Amino acid sequence: MKQEEKEKREKLVQLEQQNEQMQQQSQLEQLTQREQQDQQMKQDAMEQQESIASSPELAPRLEWFKLRLERVAEVVFHEFTVDYGHSCVLIYMSGMFDIKQAERNLLEPLLGKVFYMKDELTQYLFSRNQLPVTELHWVDRAADALQAILQGYGILLFQGEPRMLVLPYANYETRSIVEAPNETVLRGPREAFIEDIGVNISLLRRRIKSPLLKTEEYTFGRHTSTRVVLAYMEGICKDSLIHEVRRRISYLDIDGVLSSSQIEETITDRSSSPFTQIQYTERPDVVSSSILEGRVAILVDNTPIALLAPTTIFSKMQSSEDYYQNFVAATAIRYIRYLFLFISFLLPSFYIAISTFHAEMIPFRLLVTVASAREVVPFPALLEAFIMEISFEALREASVRIPKSIGQTVSIIGALIIGTAAVQAGIVSAAMVIIVSVTGIASFIIPSFDLGLSFRLMRFPLMLLAGTFGIFGIACGMFLIYTHALNLESFGVPYLTPMAPSNRDSAKDVWMRAPWWRMNERPSFAAPNNRNRQKKQARGWKLEQEDLE
Amino acid sequence: MTTKVVTQKQMYKYFTIHIITTIIMFMIGIVLQQSGYSAPLGVLIGACIGIVITFFSIAFAKRRPDAFFVHYGADIVTRWLHYPLMAFIIMTNFLLVAINLWEIQDLLLQFYLTGTPSWIILGLCGLCISYMARYGIKSMFRAAEGMFYLSMITFIIIPYLVHSNMEWFLARGFATIASVKEAWPTAYHLGSIFGEASLILYIYPYISQASYTRKTTIRFTMLAALMVICHLIPILIVLGPDLAQNLNYPELDIIRLIKSGSYLETLDPIIIALWLVSIFIKLSFILFVISHMLSRILKLKYSKPLIYPICAFIIVSTICLAQSHTQFFSMHNGGVSTCVYISQLIPLLYYVIDVMRNRRQQMEEESL
Amino acid sequence: MRKLIISLLLLMMLTGCWSSEELNDQAFIGVLIIDRNDDGIEVTFGVPLTTNLASGETSGSASGGEVFGYFSRTAPTLEEAMQKVQGDLSRRANIGQNRNIVVGRRFAEEGITPVLELAARNPNIRMNTNMFLVDGYAKDEVAKATVTSERFFISILNKYVEHRTALQTTIKDFMLSKASGGDGLLPIINFSNTTEGAMVGKSSTVGTGGAAIIKKGKLVEPILTPDQTSAAQSIRNQLGNYFFSIKSPTENGWIGLYSTSVDVKTKIVKKEKKYHILIKPTSEVEAISNNSTMNFAIYEEVKKLEDRIDQFSDQLHADTMLIIQQTGADVFHFDRYMMVKYPQEWRKIKDHWREYYRDQLAIDIDSDIRIRRKGSTVRSFKSQFIEHNEGD
């Protein structure tokens, strides 16, 4: 009996538990169901109201707009009546619309006139276009009108007219054009892009005053509706390249595009590679010269960074400063840059390899000095190098975020005190401090920050390889990196042009900065029938002079 | 799939590196032991042999410029003969890669990395080689293009740096002592290496501007022969023939004799590192050809997946190849060169049969 | 790509770092000293003691303690002795930095062939390691010497070779030819005591002396004097700066001369069925002191002086060559000249080359030395200021 009771009790308990679970589940289900039903109802209502909103009646449309823009504080619905008896509504966002202009150019004339018939008003506004407003256009879908309001335009609704006027007085605060903070030059223009895409395009247009500069506009981002502009020179840029860029961009379907890096990561050839295949810049003169070489520039609204495609590793190693200085000096500086490129990722590995595997490479006196300096250090060379490198990376990362007021002090602390103190305490040797600082400086010589970053990161696996296999390890590591870079392509252009698929003309701009009067042809990725930049005798006046003499 | 991606310039640069790297580091010791002062003559004769072999291959490839030899060979001779011959060629190339890898690992272990087990070095080498081979035919030739000038400068600068050690009167010996009889063993060995350019046959459909292939062959063979002689002559002049014959790696020894400024004295690790990159390019090309042939024989669509397994197989066979230097030499002298010659001359057999068949067909058509 | 990363990572896991060695776990041999005593061969490693230098300063033997240590052991063979010395060292001896081998007299008399073989076969020892001889017991002399002008003893040796103060003989020089293999000249390092040498008053200091003739790996008498060593250097085309004095043609004083480099051309010719080695030193010298009344403006006197210099040079070279030739050691490897120019005759002679060299090879010396500059003054001090006054 007791057992039976126990069993019954257990069963009851189980049933209760199950019931609870079912209740919970059903509650959840019910909740979700209810939410879904609500949403469905809302959508239905919206769709219904869409069709309402496309009607010529004013009131339902106004209701629709008010429903959609409920709890949006900045929206203003300005209802007024034009004589005789035509109700109108002006809808705009108060921070983004230039109401003064609208008052002067729209409200004043409209309210000053008398329209006896609705047709007169319609003619005045639409067919004869007699409002003192240029760039006026109209929409008849309510969704488009809503989008226009959100972009800062004003919408004018009329009773009995399904078309809605869009007033182009979008005016919001933007940053002023300042000097480029990350790409400074000594001699050359100092302007940099700002966030507003209209201003950015105007910066480009000021430099390339040609009708062949095409700017195609796209909108991406379901919620951000960000404007993205493709800029290129028709005829100079290869058609296949433009098609390819358009094709890749068309796959972007994301809820928000907030910066150009999202676009970059979508359209880049190989996103897993440490080398980025798209160049970015914040200077309009770099963008203009790239466009003139046959590249495509991608400008994104709300980002001051423009993307350039295709790119090679050598164009990332060039700074715009090179082209503004004398070509002899620029060539020398370019070679220093190439040298420091190698130093930035090979020097610590080289030191580790030589000091642990190939000590016979060091001249004897230097060897004795280095060895005696390292006597007190307890760590093996590889570990010492890792400690110093990681501390340097930490220092660099921290210095990005330090407030400017104490930035100087902290960098002095980091460099002098920590470095000196570490050497004196015997944790690292002086040679290692020198090597790490030279490497750090070298990595900042590279004009393109992302390229410097990727080389900096490749240092660490190379150090491991060097510590295990010596120079043979470095050779293998370099081989792997070389193979990888060799087979990268950026929109069909091999990454190591003109070194790997060799190309005489582009070589002129890579191995030396040829003077402008020698650069007669555009690089190889420009359209093949439009290669000539200039005539061959840019310095023809000199020949004339010599003829005369 | 068969787009013409390899240009003549790339071929020129690649094959120069292909031929030079093996000869300069590994073969010079043997060459000097066998021929002494006649070595440069032997190099020239070997280069001529190599050109002749390559010309045969190119002439045969020209008959069907857009198809792969592995496929149409089965039509020329019957399948029963073709596949075993292809297998023989594949095995010979395996052997070449294995021998080269063994010599690399021997060099590195002996001089620089004593104590490291050989399998880890071979593993790293194999990783590098297969990584490059997986990227396809383009990558090897592009890599050679990029490395070409650097490699040439490295090779040329060595004789220049030792010029202060040279005793020029010894150069007279090249005129007075050299003889063809002494040069012949060298010519035989080196001919098989110069003849490795006949691998062009297997990648012929990838080559663009194929009509210039012959000219390119002459140019790169001559350049390679010139570079080898530019190394042989300084070695003989600096070390003298008796000493040079006695050394296993005379190249390394003369690099160590560089005296220009006491801070450049032990450059040999750096030169070895640069040379290693070049020989990896060469080995990855041979690996690519092997996997290409094998994938076509097995009727696979892509050759990429085969590369890692083939590389692993080669590495294991390299480890088991020879336990010591003595074993290696007895194997090497026991006819590896002959084996390579046979594999390079097999296409000649096909050529002859093909010509005969065509003639017979023409005669039949005429009689009809 | 992913597989590549994984396989790389796997490889990293296996890092046992098999052959990497820290700098401070190695003892870099600066000089190898080999000598023979009654118990066998004694090998000494000269090693810089980096712990004593470890204060980070670059001054010499400052903070107490020696900067260079000598560790030595004796054993019947060279390799066993090296093993024993390694047993004394707390770090692994690395011979890759070694550029100098010093041998003692007794070892040289019994044959330096073991050292030559070790250096040639061992991949870590370079072929251009310099060799020196100490006329005595090498280890004692070297270890006792105080090193004053340089930081380390080996820096002195390296600089002797670099500035051509001493004759340079490397391991390679003994192996240049089969018929004369093992023949060479070893420069001698002197350790002079307190009355002569660099720093008078201290214990023995380092200097260069003559050279020793090695035939077939063994030392043979006589030992060349420093002058004769300079002649040998010049035949080897290694002579750098050289001061010498010639008696003036006016017979009343000596003229001091200085040559910066001597360019010596050697070749072999056949004259009347006999083979002559022609050695032609040419040089341009400067007059640096004139203790006679000779006037450099007079062409005939200068010509006479030049003839005298030529005679002096010829005589010195000929004397040296005679001494060397009579020992039968072909230290300059003249057989190579014959081998390349007259290969057929060479094949007949090469088995008994040394006898041929000693008895039948004629060595002719033809110097051509010109006086290039006569210094800053026009007439000698003697003739301008002293002889002038004696007329009164």
Instruction: Give the model confidence (pLDDT) of C155-174 as tens digits.
Output: 889 889 888 889 999 999 99
Most confident of A364-373, A441-450, B42-51: B42-51
Contact between C213 and C219 (Cβ < 8 Å):
yes
Burial of C66 (0-12, 13-18, 19+ CB in 10 A): exposed
Q: Is B219 a residue whose pLDDT tops 90?
A: yes
Q: A194, A272, A318, A257: which is closest to A484 by C-alpha?
A: A272
Mean pLDDT of B292-317: 90
Q: Could you give the percent of chain C with pLDDT greater than 70? A: 89
Per-residue pLDDT of A41-64, as tens digits, reads 777 776 766 666 667 888 888 888
Per-residue pLDDT of A158-197, as tens digits, reads 888 888 889 988 888 888 888 888 888 888 888 999 999 9
Nearest to B139 among A469, A473, A487 (CB): A487
CA distance A498 to A482: 14
SS3 per-residue string spanning chain C: CHHHHHHHHHHHHCCCCCCCCCHHHEEECCEEEEEEECCEEEEEEEEECCCCCCCCCCCCCCCCCCCEEEEEEEECCHHHHHHHHHHHCCCEEEHHHCCEEEEEHHHHHHCCHHHHHHHHHCCCCCCCCEEEEECCCHHHHHHHCCCCCCCCHHHHHHHHHHCCCCCCCEHHHHHCCCCCCCCEEEEEEEEECCCCCCCCCCCCEEEEEEEEEEECCEEEEEEECHHHHHHHHHHCCCCCCEEEEEECCCCCCEEEEEEEEEEEEEEEEEECCEEEEEEEEEEEEEEEEECCCCCCCCHHHHHHHHHHHHHHHHHHHHHHHHHHHHHCCCCCCCHHHHHHHCHHHHHHHHHHHHHHHHHCCEEEECCEEEEEECCCCCCCHHHHHHHHHHCC
Per-residue pLDDT of C295-304, as tens digits, reads 888 888 889 9
- Residues of chain C with C-beta less than 8 angstroms from the C-beta of B177: 339-340, 343
Q: Which residue has the tokens 């002996």?
A: B110
- What's residue C33's pLDDT? 93
CA distance A24 to A39: 22
CA distance A385 to B213: 50
The answer, for C59 touching chain B at a CB cutoff of 8 Å, is no
- Residue B13 structure tokens: 């640069």
The answer, for B182 touching chain C at a CB cutoff of 8 Å, is no
- What's residue C232's pLDDT? 92
Going by pLDDT thresholds of 50, 70 and 90, the confidence category of residue C319 is very high
- Pick B218 or B253 by higher pLDDT: B218
- What's residue A114's pLDDT? 86
Mean pLDDT of B197-217: 91
The CB density around residue B261, as the number of other CB atoms within 10 Å, is 9
Mean pLDDT of chain B: 88
- Residues of chain A with C-beta less than 8 angstroms from the C-beta of B264: none
Q: Is C79 left (phi over 0), alpha (psi -120 to 50) or beta?
A: alpha
Report the chain A residue with the minimal C-alpha distance to residue C124: A360
- What's residue A415's pLDDT? 73
Per-residue pLDDT of C350-371, as tens digits, reads 888 899 998 888 889 999 988 8
**Residues of A numbered 440-469 whose beta carbons fall under 8 angstroms of chain B's beta carbons: which are they?**
469
- What's residue A246's pLDDT? 92
Per-residue pLDDT of A244-280, as tens digits, reads 999 999 888 888 888 888 899 889 988 889 999 999 9
- What's residue A256's pLDDT? 87
- What's residue C203's pLDDT? 64
Query: What radius of gyration do chain B's Cα atoms show?
Result: 21
- What's residue C57's pLDDT? 45
Residue boundaries of the structural domains of chain A: 58-167, 197-311, 325-494, 504-539
Mean pLDDT of chain A: 85
Q: Per the CB < 8 Å rule, is B177 touching C339?
A: yes
In a mutational test of the C interface, the residue from A358, A362, A368, A429 whose CB has the highest number of chain C CBs within 10 Å is: A368
Q: A207, A213, A178, A195: which is closest to A284 by C-alpha?
A: A207
Q: Per the CB < 8 Å rule, is A486 touching B277?
A: no
- Pick C8 or B24 by higher pLDDT: B24
- Residues of chain A with C-beta less than 8 angstroms from the C-beta of B6: none
Q: Is B227 a residue whose pLDDT tops 80?
A: yes
Per-residue pLDDT of C126-148, as tens digits, reads 888 999 999 888 888 888 887 77
Going by pLDDT thresholds of 50, 70 and 90, the confidence category of residue C63 is very low
Closest chain B C-alpha to C339 CA, distance in angstroms: 8
ipTM for the complex? 0.91
Q: Is A514 a residue whose pLDDT tops 80?
A: no
Per-residue pLDDT of C256-293, as tens digits, reads 899 887 889 898 888 888 889 999 999 989 988 888 88
Going by pLDDT thresholds of 50, 70 and 90, the confidence category of residue C62 is very low
In a mutational test of the A interface, the residue from B118, B128, B262 whose CB has the highest number of chain A CBs within 10 Å is: B128
Per-residue pLDDT of C65-109, as tens digits, reads 578 889 999 999 999 999 999 998 988 898 888 889 999 999 999
Per-residue pLDDT of A382-400, as tens digits, reads 888 998 889 888 888 888 8
Could you give the angle at the alpha carbon of C128 between the alpha carbons of C125 and C131, nearest 5°?
A: 90
Strand partners, A220: A226
Contact between B289 and B92 (Cβ < 8 Å):
no
- Residues of chain C with C-beta less than 8 angstroms from the C-beta of B167: 336
Per-residue pLDDT of B316-359, as tens digits, reads 999 988 888 888 888 877 788 899 999 999 999 999 999 999 89
Could you give the angle at the alpha carbon of C114 between the alpha carbons of C110 and C115, nearest 5°?
A: 105
- Pick B105 or A40 by higher pLDDT: B105
Q: Which residue has the tokens 């590389």?
A: B311
- What's residue A221's pLDDT? 87
- What's residue C15's pLDDT? 54
- Residue A499 structure tokens: 């070194």
Task: Give the type of residue at A464.
Answer: L
Q: Per the CB < 8 Å rule, is A483 touching B265?
A: no
Q: Per the CB < 8 Å rule, is B170 touching C19?
A: no
Q: Is A128 a residue whose pLDDT tops 90?
A: no
Nearest to B124 among C11, C162, C181 (CB): C11
Mean pLDDT of C186-210: 73
Q: Per the CB < 8 Å rule, is A364 touching C28?
A: yes
Domains of chain B from N-terminus onward: 8-367 (1.20.1740.10)
- What's residue C278's pLDDT? 92
- Residues of chain B with C-beta less than 8 angstroms from the C-beta of C178: 242
Architecture of domain C226-392: 2-Layer Sandwich (3.30)
> What are the residues whose beta carbons fall under 8 Å from the beta carbon of C322, sequence distance 6 or more?
none
Residue boundaries of the structural domains of chain C: 25-53+61-224, 226-392
Range with the lowest mean pLDDT among A88-102, A115-129, B299-313, C178-192?
A115-129
Nearest to B242 among C11, C18, C177 (CB): C177
CA distance A146 to A160: 19
Q: Is B44 a residue whose pLDDT tops 90?
A: yes
In a mutational test of the A interface, the residue from B11, B134, B137, B145 whose CB has the highest number of chain A CBs within 10 Å is: B145
Per-residue pLDDT of A487-508, as tens digits, reads 998 998 889 887 777 766 666 6
- Residues of chain B with C-beta less than 8 angstroms from the C-beta of C172: 239, 243, 257
Per-residue pLDDT of A388-445, as tens digits, reads 889 888 888 888 888 888 877 777 777 777 788 888 888 888 888 889 889 988 888 8
CA distance C277 to C280: 10
- Residues of chain C with C-beta less than 8 angstroms from the C-beta of B169: 266-267, 336-337, 340
Nearest to A467 among C1, C17, C155 (CB): C17
- Residues of chain A with C-beta less than 8 angstroms from the C-beta of C48: 368, 371
Q: What's the predicted TM-score (pTM) here? A: 0.86
Per-residue pLDDT of C218-228, as tens digits, reads 999 889 999 99
CA distance A428 to C25: 17
- Residues of chain A with C-beta less than 8 angstroms from the C-beta of C54: 372-373, 375-376
- Residue C145 structure tokens: 């010497």
Q: If you count residue pairs, one on A and one on C, with CB atoms under 8 Å apart, how many are there?
A: 81
Closest chain B C-alpha to C164 CA, distance in angstroms: 14
Q: Could you give the percent of chain A with pLDDT greater than 90? A: 22
Q: Using CB atoms, list chains with 3+ pairs below 8 Å to chain B.
A: A, C
